[in-house]
A and B are shown apart, each in its own frame.
Chain A
Amino acid sequence: MKLELGKIKINDIQFAEKTYVKDHVLYVNKEEVEALVLEDDKLLGCSLDIARPGDKTRITPVKDVIEPRVKVKGGEIFPGMIGKVTPPAGEGRTHALDGCCVVTVGRIVGFQEGVIDMSGPAADYCPFSKTVNLCVVIEPKEGLETHVYEKAGRMAGLKVAAYLGEAGRDIEPDTLETFETKPIFEQAQMYPDLPKVGYVHMLQSQGLLHDTYYYGVDAKQFVPTFMYPTEIMDGAIVSGNCVAPCDKVTTYHHFHNPVIEDCYKHHGKDINFMGVILTNENVFLADKERHSDMVAKLAEWMGLDGVLITEEGYGNPDTDLMMNCRKVEQKGVKVVLITDEFPGKDGKSQSLADTCDEATALASCGQGNATLHFPAMDKVIGTMDYIESQIGGWAGCVNEDGSFEAELQIIIASTIANGFNCLAAKGY
Protein backbone atom coordinates (compact mmCIF):
# COMPACT_ATOMS: atom_id res chain seq x y z
CA MET A 1 0.00 0.00 0.00
CA LYS A 2 1.44 3.35 -1.11
CA LEU A 3 0.51 6.85 0.00
CA GLU A 4 1.67 10.21 -1.32
CA LEU A 5 1.37 12.81 1.41
CA GLY A 6 1.62 16.46 0.39
CA LYS A 7 2.02 19.10 3.06
CA ILE A 8 0.85 22.66 2.51
CA LYS A 9 2.45 24.91 5.10
CA ILE A 10 -0.09 27.15 6.84
CA ASN A 11 1.27 30.11 8.82
CA ASP A 12 -2.00 31.82 9.75
CA ILE A 13 -5.79 31.53 9.73
CA GLN A 14 -8.03 34.52 8.96
CA PHE A 15 -11.78 34.91 8.62
CA ALA A 16 -12.90 35.94 5.12
CA GLU A 17 -15.78 35.98 2.62
CA LYS A 18 -14.89 32.52 1.33
CA THR A 19 -12.75 29.57 2.36
CA TYR A 20 -9.45 29.17 0.48
CA VAL A 21 -5.69 28.91 0.88
CA LYS A 22 -3.37 31.57 -0.48
CA ASP A 23 0.28 32.32 0.28
CA HIS A 24 0.32 29.95 3.27
CA VAL A 25 -2.73 31.54 4.89
CA LEU A 26 -5.99 29.65 5.42
CA TYR A 27 -8.96 32.00 4.91
CA VAL A 28 -12.17 30.74 6.49
CA ASN A 29 -15.80 31.63 5.84
CA LYS A 30 -17.11 31.65 9.37
CA GLU A 31 -20.80 31.41 8.47
CA GLU A 32 -20.30 28.33 6.30
CA VAL A 33 -18.43 26.51 9.06
CA GLU A 34 -21.02 27.41 11.70
CA ALA A 35 -23.85 26.31 9.41
CA LEU A 36 -22.04 23.01 8.77
CA VAL A 37 -21.73 22.33 12.49
CA LEU A 38 -25.34 23.29 13.18
CA GLU A 39 -26.61 20.79 10.58
CA ASP A 40 -26.63 18.50 13.63
CA ASP A 41 -29.81 19.18 15.58
CA LYS A 42 -28.11 18.01 18.80
CA LEU A 43 -26.13 21.26 18.78
CA LEU A 44 -27.77 24.59 19.53
CA GLY A 45 -24.87 26.93 19.07
CA CYS A 46 -21.47 27.14 17.39
CA SER A 47 -18.93 29.95 17.45
CA LEU A 48 -15.46 30.11 15.95
CA ASP A 49 -12.31 31.68 17.28
CA ILE A 50 -8.68 31.69 16.23
CA ALA A 51 -5.81 31.01 18.66
CA ARG A 52 -2.27 31.71 17.54
CA PRO A 53 1.08 30.70 19.10
CA GLY A 54 2.18 33.35 21.61
CA ASP A 55 -1.37 34.63 22.27
CA LYS A 56 -2.32 35.05 25.93
CA THR A 57 -5.14 32.63 25.30
CA ARG A 58 -6.36 29.49 27.05
CA ILE A 59 -8.51 26.89 25.27
CA THR A 60 -10.56 24.54 27.48
CA PRO A 61 -12.28 22.04 27.78
CA VAL A 62 -10.71 20.59 24.62
CA LYS A 63 -12.31 17.49 23.11
CA ASP A 64 -10.25 16.70 20.03
CA VAL A 65 -7.65 18.23 17.73
CA ILE A 66 -7.72 17.47 14.01
CA GLU A 67 -5.53 18.46 11.08
CA PRO A 68 -7.49 19.58 7.99
CA ARG A 69 -6.88 17.15 5.13
CA VAL A 70 -8.28 16.16 1.78
CA LYS A 71 -7.99 13.01 -0.33
CA VAL A 72 -6.87 14.14 -3.76
CA LYS A 73 -6.63 10.59 -5.17
CA GLY A 74 -7.92 7.38 -3.58
CA GLY A 75 -10.74 7.07 -1.08
CA GLU A 76 -12.39 9.65 1.14
CA ILE A 77 -11.14 11.26 4.35
CA PHE A 78 -12.22 9.69 7.69
CA PRO A 79 -13.65 6.52 6.10
CA GLY A 80 -16.58 5.01 7.97
CA MET A 81 -17.06 8.22 9.93
CA ILE A 82 -17.91 10.90 7.37
CA GLY A 83 -16.30 9.36 4.27
CA LYS A 84 -17.18 6.19 2.35
CA VAL A 85 -15.44 3.08 3.76
CA THR A 86 -14.28 1.95 0.34
CA PRO A 87 -11.74 2.23 -1.12
CA PRO A 88 -9.74 2.03 2.12
CA ALA A 89 -7.46 4.76 3.46
CA GLY A 90 -3.72 4.61 2.97
CA GLU A 91 -3.50 4.70 -0.82
CA GLY A 92 -3.47 7.46 -3.41
CA ARG A 93 -2.66 11.07 -2.58
CA THR A 94 -3.59 13.22 0.39
CA HIS A 95 -3.01 16.92 1.05
CA ALA A 96 -2.59 18.18 4.62
CA LEU A 97 -2.82 21.76 5.86
CA ASP A 98 0.33 21.60 7.94
CA GLY A 99 0.64 23.93 10.94
CA CYS A 100 -3.04 24.54 11.57
CA CYS A 101 -5.61 22.54 13.52
CA VAL A 102 -9.31 22.32 14.26
CA VAL A 103 -9.87 22.25 18.03
CA THR A 104 -13.30 21.23 19.31
CA VAL A 105 -14.24 22.97 22.55
CA GLY A 106 -17.32 23.12 24.75
CA ARG A 107 -18.93 22.27 28.06
CA ILE A 108 -17.41 19.03 29.35
CA VAL A 109 -18.73 15.66 28.24
CA GLY A 110 -17.04 13.74 31.04
CA PHE A 111 -14.27 15.04 33.26
CA GLN A 112 -11.30 14.09 31.12
CA GLU A 113 -10.98 17.02 28.76
CA GLY A 114 -7.96 19.23 28.78
CA VAL A 115 -6.31 22.61 28.46
CA ILE A 116 -4.23 24.23 25.71
CA ASP A 117 -2.36 27.43 26.67
CA MET A 118 -1.04 29.35 23.67
CA SER A 119 1.74 30.94 25.77
CA GLY A 120 3.25 30.74 29.24
CA PRO A 121 4.76 27.75 31.05
CA ALA A 122 2.08 25.23 30.02
CA ALA A 123 2.71 25.98 26.33
CA ASP A 124 6.05 24.16 26.57
CA TYR A 125 4.19 20.92 27.27
CA CYS A 126 1.59 21.07 24.51
CA PRO A 127 2.12 20.51 20.76
CA PHE A 128 -0.98 22.58 19.94
CA SER A 129 0.50 25.71 21.52
CA LYS A 130 2.68 25.82 18.40
CA THR A 131 -0.07 25.45 15.78
CA VAL A 132 -2.60 28.04 14.57
CA ASN A 133 -5.93 26.73 15.85
CA LEU A 134 -9.44 27.23 14.59
CA CYS A 135 -11.47 26.65 17.74
CA VAL A 136 -14.97 25.32 17.17
CA VAL A 137 -16.92 26.10 20.34
CA ILE A 138 -20.10 24.04 20.48
CA GLU A 139 -23.20 24.43 22.63
CA PRO A 140 -25.26 21.26 23.09
CA LYS A 141 -29.02 21.09 23.42
CA GLU A 142 -30.22 20.94 27.03
CA GLY A 143 -30.65 17.48 28.51
CA LEU A 144 -28.58 15.67 25.88
CA GLU A 145 -27.21 12.33 27.07
CA THR A 146 -23.43 12.51 27.40
CA HIS A 147 -22.65 9.90 24.73
CA VAL A 148 -24.91 11.72 22.26
CA TYR A 149 -23.14 15.00 23.03
CA GLU A 150 -19.74 13.34 22.65
CA LYS A 151 -20.71 12.03 19.20
CA ALA A 152 -22.05 15.43 18.10
CA GLY A 153 -18.77 17.10 19.12
CA ARG A 154 -16.67 14.40 17.46
CA MET A 155 -18.57 14.58 14.16
CA ALA A 156 -18.51 18.41 14.17
CA GLY A 157 -14.69 18.37 14.40
CA LEU A 158 -14.31 15.84 11.59
CA LYS A 159 -16.72 17.71 9.32
CA VAL A 160 -14.96 21.04 9.84
CA ALA A 161 -11.52 19.47 9.27
CA ALA A 162 -12.71 17.86 6.02
CA TYR A 163 -14.38 21.12 4.91
CA LEU A 164 -11.18 23.14 5.51
CA GLY A 165 -9.06 20.38 3.94
CA GLU A 166 -10.94 20.86 0.66
CA ALA A 167 -9.26 24.27 0.41
CA GLY A 168 -5.97 22.42 -0.12
CA ARG A 169 -7.19 20.15 -2.93
CA ASP A 170 -5.75 22.17 -5.84
CA ILE A 171 -2.82 23.78 -4.02
CA GLU A 172 0.68 22.58 -4.93
CA PRO A 173 2.11 21.18 -1.67
CA ASP A 174 5.37 22.51 -0.24
CA THR A 175 6.59 18.97 0.34
CA LEU A 176 5.49 15.67 -1.14
CA GLU A 177 6.58 12.41 0.44
CA THR A 178 5.81 8.81 -0.46
CA PHE A 179 5.33 6.02 2.09
CA GLU A 180 4.98 2.39 1.15
CA THR A 181 4.65 -0.97 2.84
CA LYS A 182 4.27 -4.04 0.65
CA PRO A 183 2.36 -7.30 1.28
CA ILE A 184 4.09 -9.46 3.87
CA PHE A 185 6.20 -11.83 1.69
CA GLU A 186 7.31 -9.08 -0.72
CA GLN A 187 8.14 -6.79 2.18
CA ALA A 188 10.18 -9.50 3.92
CA GLN A 189 12.14 -10.16 0.71
CA MET A 190 12.80 -6.48 0.07
CA TYR A 191 15.34 -6.15 2.89
CA PRO A 192 16.21 -9.76 3.79
CA ASP A 193 19.23 -8.77 5.90
CA LEU A 194 17.47 -6.21 8.09
CA PRO A 195 15.56 -7.04 11.29
CA LYS A 196 11.81 -7.24 10.71
CA VAL A 197 10.13 -4.75 13.02
CA GLY A 198 6.42 -4.29 13.75
CA TYR A 199 4.37 -1.85 15.76
CA VAL A 200 1.73 -3.03 18.24
CA HIS A 201 -0.70 -0.13 18.41
CA MET A 202 -3.11 -0.28 21.39
CA LEU A 203 -6.26 1.80 20.96
CA GLN A 204 -8.23 3.16 23.89
CA SER A 205 -11.51 1.17 23.96
CA GLN A 206 -12.72 1.08 27.56
CA GLY A 207 -16.17 2.40 26.64
CA LEU A 208 -18.13 4.92 28.72
CA LEU A 209 -16.79 7.78 26.57
CA HIS A 210 -13.38 6.14 26.21
CA ASP A 211 -13.60 4.99 22.60
CA THR A 212 -11.68 5.04 19.34
CA TYR A 213 -12.96 4.27 15.85
CA TYR A 214 -11.34 2.11 13.18
CA TYR A 215 -12.99 2.72 9.78
CA GLY A 216 -16.04 3.70 11.83
CA VAL A 217 -15.99 0.50 13.92
CA ASP A 218 -15.99 1.01 17.68
CA ALA A 219 -12.55 -0.31 18.70
CA LYS A 220 -13.89 -2.40 21.59
CA GLN A 221 -15.81 -4.51 19.07
CA PHE A 222 -12.91 -5.72 16.93
CA VAL A 223 -10.28 -8.39 17.49
CA PRO A 224 -6.61 -7.62 16.76
CA THR A 225 -5.84 -7.17 13.09
CA PHE A 226 -3.10 -6.14 10.69
CA MET A 227 -2.90 -2.62 9.27
CA TYR A 228 -0.68 -1.02 6.70
CA PRO A 229 0.92 1.98 8.44
CA THR A 230 -0.28 4.31 5.68
CA GLU A 231 -3.91 3.54 6.56
CA ILE A 232 -3.35 5.08 10.00
CA MET A 233 -1.46 8.04 8.51
CA ASP A 234 -4.45 8.62 6.26
CA GLY A 235 -7.39 8.87 8.66
CA ALA A 236 -8.53 5.26 9.22
CA ILE A 237 -8.43 5.82 12.98
CA VAL A 238 -10.37 8.60 14.72
CA SER A 239 -10.37 9.53 18.40
CA GLY A 240 -13.65 9.55 20.25
CA ASN A 241 -12.45 9.41 23.78
CA CYS A 242 -12.31 11.49 26.90
CA VAL A 243 -9.30 9.74 28.43
CA ALA A 244 -6.89 11.77 30.58
CA PRO A 245 -5.91 14.77 28.41
CA CYS A 246 -2.15 14.28 28.87
CA ASP A 247 -2.11 10.94 27.09
CA LYS A 248 -5.10 11.30 24.84
CA VAL A 249 -4.17 10.30 21.31
CA THR A 250 -6.06 12.97 19.39
CA THR A 251 -7.12 12.42 15.79
CA TYR A 252 -4.17 14.72 14.90
CA HIS A 253 -1.82 12.25 16.60
CA HIS A 254 -3.25 9.32 14.64
CA PHE A 255 -2.29 11.19 11.45
CA HIS A 256 1.13 11.91 12.96
CA ASN A 257 1.90 8.75 14.92
CA PRO A 258 5.58 9.23 15.85
CA VAL A 259 6.30 5.49 15.99
CA ILE A 260 5.08 5.06 12.41
CA GLU A 261 6.91 8.21 11.25
CA ASP A 262 10.18 7.11 12.84
CA CYS A 263 9.91 3.50 11.69
CA TYR A 264 9.49 4.80 8.12
CA LYS A 265 12.62 6.97 8.58
CA HIS A 266 14.56 3.81 9.47
CA HIS A 267 12.76 1.60 6.91
CA GLY A 268 15.28 0.04 4.51
CA LYS A 269 18.23 1.53 6.41
CA ASP A 270 18.48 -0.37 9.69
CA ILE A 271 15.06 -2.01 9.98
CA ASN A 272 12.45 -3.58 7.73
CA PHE A 273 9.17 -2.00 8.92
CA MET A 274 6.67 -4.78 8.32
CA GLY A 275 3.50 -3.07 9.50
CA VAL A 276 1.11 -2.50 12.39
CA ILE A 277 -0.73 -4.93 14.65
CA LEU A 278 -3.79 -3.05 15.82
CA THR A 279 -5.33 -4.00 19.16
CA ASN A 280 -7.52 -2.54 21.88
CA GLU A 281 -7.81 -2.06 25.67
CA ASN A 282 -11.10 -3.58 26.80
CA VAL A 283 -12.63 -3.76 30.27
CA PHE A 284 -13.09 -7.53 30.59
CA LEU A 285 -10.24 -9.80 31.61
CA ALA A 286 -11.16 -12.40 28.96
CA ASP A 287 -10.85 -9.71 26.25
CA LYS A 288 -7.44 -8.67 27.56
CA GLU A 289 -6.23 -12.32 27.61
CA ARG A 290 -7.73 -13.25 24.22
CA HIS A 291 -6.49 -10.12 22.43
CA SER A 292 -2.95 -10.26 23.82
CA ASP A 293 -2.81 -13.92 22.68
CA MET A 294 -3.88 -12.77 19.22
CA VAL A 295 -1.30 -9.97 19.17
CA ALA A 296 1.44 -12.49 20.00
CA LYS A 297 0.12 -14.88 17.35
CA LEU A 298 0.18 -12.15 14.69
CA ALA A 299 3.71 -11.08 15.70
CA GLU A 300 4.90 -14.67 15.34
CA TRP A 301 3.00 -15.23 12.08
CA MET A 302 4.53 -12.07 10.56
CA GLY A 303 7.99 -13.42 11.40
CA LEU A 304 8.90 -10.32 13.35
CA ASP A 305 12.24 -9.95 15.13
CA GLY A 306 11.09 -7.04 17.28
CA VAL A 307 8.09 -4.87 18.10
CA LEU A 308 7.43 -1.49 19.64
CA ILE A 309 4.27 -1.26 21.75
CA THR A 310 2.37 1.89 22.73
CA GLU A 311 -0.73 2.28 24.90
CA GLU A 312 -3.34 5.00 25.38
CA GLY A 313 -4.47 5.96 28.86
CA TYR A 314 -3.18 4.49 32.10
CA GLY A 315 -4.33 2.24 34.92
CA ASN A 316 -5.90 -0.98 33.68
CA PRO A 317 -4.50 -0.56 30.11
CA ASP A 318 -1.10 -1.09 31.75
CA THR A 319 -2.20 -4.72 32.11
CA ASP A 320 -2.91 -4.98 28.37
CA LEU A 321 0.53 -3.44 27.79
CA MET A 322 2.24 -6.00 30.01
CA MET A 323 0.24 -8.97 28.66
CA ASN A 324 1.20 -7.96 25.11
CA CYS A 325 4.83 -7.58 26.20
CA ARG A 326 5.01 -10.94 27.99
CA LYS A 327 3.24 -12.97 25.31
CA VAL A 328 5.11 -11.41 22.36
CA GLU A 329 8.46 -11.94 24.15
CA GLN A 330 7.48 -15.57 24.81
CA LYS A 331 7.20 -16.01 21.03
CA GLY A 332 10.87 -15.04 20.78
CA VAL A 333 10.19 -11.51 19.52
CA LYS A 334 12.01 -8.64 21.24
CA VAL A 335 9.80 -5.92 22.76
CA VAL A 336 10.34 -2.28 23.61
CA LEU A 337 7.50 -0.53 25.46
CA ILE A 338 6.68 3.16 25.09
CA THR A 339 4.48 4.73 27.76
CA ASP A 340 4.11 7.51 30.30
CA GLU A 341 4.13 7.28 34.09
CA PHE A 342 1.93 8.22 37.05
CA PRO A 343 3.89 7.98 40.31
CA GLY A 344 1.58 10.27 42.34
CA LYS A 345 2.14 13.89 43.34
CA ASP A 346 5.01 12.94 45.64
CA GLY A 347 6.56 10.64 43.01
CA LYS A 348 6.67 7.72 45.43
CA SER A 349 4.03 5.37 44.01
CA GLN A 350 4.56 2.59 41.49
CA SER A 351 4.30 4.51 38.22
CA LEU A 352 2.56 1.79 36.21
CA ALA A 353 -0.40 -0.20 37.54
CA ASP A 354 1.09 -3.47 36.33
CA THR A 355 4.42 -4.94 35.33
CA CYS A 356 6.01 -8.21 34.18
CA ASP A 357 9.47 -9.80 34.13
CA GLU A 358 9.67 -9.57 30.34
CA ALA A 359 9.34 -5.77 30.41
CA THR A 360 13.07 -5.07 30.26
CA ALA A 361 13.12 -2.15 27.81
CA LEU A 362 10.86 0.88 28.21
CA ALA A 363 11.01 4.40 26.81
CA SER A 364 9.26 6.77 29.21
CA CYS A 365 7.31 9.76 27.92
CA GLY A 366 7.46 11.56 31.26
CA GLN A 367 5.05 11.63 34.18
CA GLY A 368 1.65 13.29 34.42
CA ASN A 369 1.42 13.95 38.17
CA ALA A 370 3.96 16.78 38.42
CA THR A 371 2.23 20.08 39.17
CA LEU A 372 2.53 23.36 37.31
CA HIS A 373 1.32 26.95 37.78
CA PHE A 374 -0.97 28.12 34.99
CA PRO A 375 -0.96 31.95 34.93
CA ALA A 376 -4.13 33.93 34.17
CA MET A 377 -4.70 34.56 30.45
CA ASP A 378 -6.20 37.58 28.69
CA LYS A 379 -8.69 35.41 26.87
CA VAL A 380 -10.38 32.05 27.45
CA ILE A 381 -11.88 30.19 24.49
CA GLY A 382 -14.48 27.86 26.02
CA THR A 383 -14.91 28.04 29.78
CA MET A 384 -12.84 27.78 32.97
CA ASP A 385 -15.93 26.56 34.88
CA TYR A 386 -14.77 22.95 35.06
CA ILE A 387 -11.01 23.27 35.75
CA GLU A 388 -11.34 21.99 39.33
CA SER A 389 -13.13 18.85 38.19
CA GLN A 390 -11.09 18.22 35.03
CA ILE A 391 -8.52 15.50 35.63
CA GLY A 392 -5.29 17.05 36.96
CA GLY A 393 -7.22 19.79 38.80
CA TRP A 394 -8.62 19.62 42.32
CA ALA A 395 -11.15 21.44 44.53
CA GLY A 396 -9.75 24.91 45.23
CA CYS A 397 -6.97 24.80 42.59
CA VAL A 398 -8.28 27.90 40.75
CA ASN A 399 -7.25 31.29 42.10
CA GLU A 400 -9.37 34.46 42.01
CA ASP A 401 -7.33 36.05 39.21
CA GLY A 402 -8.00 33.09 36.88
CA SER A 403 -4.62 31.43 37.43
CA PHE A 404 -4.56 27.88 38.77
CA GLU A 405 -2.35 25.01 39.86
CA ALA A 406 -2.82 21.59 38.28
CA GLU A 407 -1.01 18.41 37.38
CA LEU A 408 0.54 18.15 33.92
CA GLN A 409 -2.14 15.64 33.04
CA ILE A 410 -4.65 18.45 32.47
CA ILE A 411 -2.65 19.60 29.41
CA ILE A 412 -3.66 18.00 26.10
CA ALA A 413 -1.03 15.46 24.98
CA SER A 414 1.62 16.60 27.51
CA THR A 415 2.83 13.06 28.29
CA ILE A 416 1.24 11.27 25.32
CA ALA A 417 2.30 7.64 25.54
CA ASN A 418 3.60 7.25 22.00
CA GLY A 419 6.54 9.63 22.29
CA PHE A 420 5.12 12.58 20.31
CA ASN A 421 6.34 15.05 22.94
CA CYS A 422 9.77 15.72 24.33
CA LEU A 423 9.38 14.62 27.97
CA ALA A 424 11.48 11.68 29.08
CA ALA A 425 12.80 9.97 32.18
CA LYS A 426 16.38 10.24 33.35
CA GLY A 427 18.15 7.37 35.07
CA TYR A 428 20.32 8.06 38.14
Chain B
Amino acid sequence: MVKGIEKYGVPVVHMATVVPISLTIGANRIIPGVGIPYPLGDPTQGEVDSKKIRKRMVRRALKALQTEVDGQTVFEKDNF
Protein backbone atom coordinates (compact mmCIF):
# COMPACT_ATOMS: atom_id res chain seq x y z
CA MET B 1 0.00 0.00 0.00
CA VAL B 2 2.87 2.37 0.88
CA LYS B 3 4.49 1.87 -2.51
CA GLY B 4 1.16 1.96 -4.35
CA ILE B 5 0.26 5.38 -2.91
CA GLU B 6 3.75 6.84 -3.39
CA LYS B 7 3.61 5.79 -7.05
CA TYR B 8 1.02 8.55 -7.50
CA GLY B 9 3.36 11.15 -5.98
CA VAL B 10 1.75 11.23 -2.53
CA PRO B 11 4.35 10.84 0.25
CA VAL B 12 3.66 8.21 2.93
CA VAL B 13 4.97 7.72 6.46
CA HIS B 14 4.98 4.06 7.46
CA MET B 15 4.43 3.68 11.22
CA ALA B 16 5.01 0.06 12.24
CA THR B 17 6.87 -1.90 14.89
CA VAL B 18 9.03 -4.16 12.75
CA VAL B 19 11.31 -1.68 10.99
CA PRO B 20 13.16 -4.39 9.01
CA ILE B 21 9.88 -5.29 7.27
CA SER B 22 9.21 -1.59 6.50
CA LEU B 23 12.68 -1.46 4.94
CA THR B 24 12.13 -4.71 3.03
CA ILE B 25 8.86 -3.53 1.49
CA GLY B 26 10.47 -0.27 0.36
CA ALA B 27 8.93 2.42 2.61
CA ASN B 28 10.82 5.71 2.40
CA ARG B 29 9.72 7.43 5.61
CA ILE B 30 9.56 5.06 8.57
CA ILE B 31 8.62 5.66 12.20
CA PRO B 32 9.12 2.71 14.57
CA GLY B 33 5.94 1.75 16.42
CA VAL B 34 5.86 0.97 20.15
CA GLY B 35 4.94 -2.71 19.75
CA ILE B 36 2.89 -4.94 17.47
CA PRO B 37 -0.16 -5.09 19.79
CA TYR B 38 -0.09 -1.30 20.31
CA PRO B 39 1.94 0.59 17.68
CA LEU B 40 0.78 4.09 18.68
CA GLY B 41 0.71 4.30 22.46
CA ASP B 42 1.40 2.09 25.44
CA PRO B 43 -1.50 0.93 27.62
CA THR B 44 0.96 -0.26 30.29
CA GLN B 45 1.74 3.43 30.97
CA GLY B 46 -1.91 4.34 31.65
CA GLU B 47 -4.32 6.21 29.39
CA VAL B 48 -2.90 9.73 30.02
CA ASP B 49 0.73 8.89 29.25
CA SER B 50 -0.29 6.58 26.41
CA LYS B 51 -2.04 9.50 24.73
CA LYS B 52 1.10 11.66 25.15
CA ILE B 53 3.16 9.00 23.37
CA ARG B 54 0.57 8.82 20.58
CA LYS B 55 0.44 12.60 20.12
CA ARG B 56 4.24 12.84 19.97
CA MET B 57 4.41 10.08 17.35
CA VAL B 58 1.70 11.59 15.17
CA ARG B 59 3.44 15.01 15.32
CA ARG B 60 6.72 13.35 14.33
CA ALA B 61 4.93 11.62 11.45
CA LEU B 62 3.43 14.88 10.18
CA LYS B 63 6.89 16.49 10.30
CA ALA B 64 8.44 13.51 8.49
CA LEU B 65 5.79 13.79 5.81
CA GLN B 66 7.02 17.33 5.05
CA THR B 67 10.71 16.38 5.15
CA GLU B 68 12.67 15.68 1.98
CA VAL B 69 14.44 12.31 2.18
CA ASP B 70 17.32 10.91 0.22
CA GLY B 71 16.45 7.21 0.20
CA GLN B 72 14.90 5.13 3.00
CA THR B 73 14.95 7.01 6.30
CA VAL B 74 14.02 5.85 9.80
CA PHE B 75 12.90 8.75 12.03
CA GLU B 76 13.76 7.54 15.54
CA LYS B 77 13.87 10.97 17.24
CA ASP B 78 11.77 14.14 17.15
CA ASN B 79 14.59 16.56 16.34
CA PHE B 80 15.39 16.27 12.68
Known: A288-B18, A318-B21, A354-B20. 13 other contacts (CB 8 A): A206-B36, A207-B37, A208-B37, A283-B37, A284-B35, A285-B17, A285-B18, A316-B17, A319-B18, A319-B20, A319-B21, A353-B24, A354-B24
8 Å CB interface, A260-319 against B: 283-285, 288, 316, 318-319
Contact yes or no, B21 A285, CB < 8 A: no
A207 to B32, CA, bound (A): 20
Interface of B is mostly: loop
Lowest 7 CB-CB distances: which A-B pairs, in order?
Answer: A283-B36, A284-B35, A319-B20, A319-B18, A316-B18, A354-B24, A354-B21
Residue A322 is within 8 A (CB to CB) of chain B in the complex:
yes
Contact yes or no, A355 B24, CB < 8 A: yes
Question: Nearest-CB distance from B75 to chain A (Å)?
Answer: 14
Residue of A nearest to B32 (CB): A285
Residue B65 is within 8 A (CB to CB) of chain A in the complex:
no
Residue A10 is within 8 A (CB to CB) of chain B in the complex:
no
Contact of B21 among A207, A208, A283, A353 (CB under 8 A): A353
Q: Which of A208, A318, A354 gathers most chain B CB within 10 Å?
A: A354
Residue B19 is within 8 A (CB to CB) of chain A in the complex:
yes
CB-CB under 8 A for A316 and B36, given A284-B17, A285-B19, A288-B18: yes
Chain B positions near chain A (C-beta within 8 angstroms): 17-21, 24, 32, 34-37
Interface residues on A, range: 10 to 19
Contact yes or no, B37 A322, CB < 8 A: no
Residues in chain A near residue B34, CB distance under 8 A: 284
Residue of A nearest to B35 (CB): A284
Contact yes or no, B20 A283, CB < 8 A: no
Contact yes or no, A283 B35, CB < 8 A: yes
A283 to B21, CA, bound (A): 13
Question: What is the 8 Å Cβ interface bit string for chain A, positions 320-334, against chain B (1 contact, 0 not)?
Answer: 001100000000000
Contact yes or no, A323 B20, CB < 8 A: yes
Contact yes or no, A322 B17, CB < 8 A: no
Residue of B nearest to A318 (CB): B21
Residue of A nearest to B23 (CB): A354
Residues in chain A near residue B32, CB distance under 8 A: 285
A335 to B68, CA, bound (A): 39
Contact yes or no, A283 B17, CB < 8 A: yes
Residues in chain B near residue A316, CB distance under 8 A: 17-18, 21, 36
A395 to B56, CA, bound (A): 39
Residues in chain A near residue B21, CB distance under 8 A: 316, 318-319, 353-354
Residue of B nearest to A208 (CB): B37
Residues in chain A near residue B36, CB distance under 8 A: 206, 283-284, 316
Question: Nearest-CB distance from A152 to chain B (Å)?
Answer: 23
Question: Nearest-CB distance from B4 to chain A (Å)?
Answer: 13
A316 to B18, CA, bound (A): 7
A370 to B24, CA, bound (A): 24
A355 to B18, CA, bound (A): 13
24 examples of A-B residue contacts, CB within 8 angstroms: A206-B36, A208-B37, A283-B17, A283-B36, A283-B37, A284-B17, A284-B34, A284-B35, A285-B17, A285-B18, A285-B32, A288-B18, A316-B21, A316-B36, A318-B21, A319-B20, A319-B21, A322-B20, A323-B20, A353-B24, A354-B18, A354-B21, A354-B24, A355-B24
Question: Nearest-CB distance from B59 to chain A (Å)?
Answer: 21
Question: Nearest-CB distance from A341 to chain B (Å)?
Answer: 15
A206 to B21, CA, bound (A): 17
Residues in chain A near residue B35, CB distance under 8 A: 283-284
Question: Nearest-CB distance from A49 to chain B (Å)?
Answer: 36
A288 to B20, CA, bound (A): 11
Question: Nearest-CB distance from B34 to chain A (Å)?
Answer: 8
Q: Which of B17, B19, B24 gathers most chain A CB within 10 Å?
A: B24
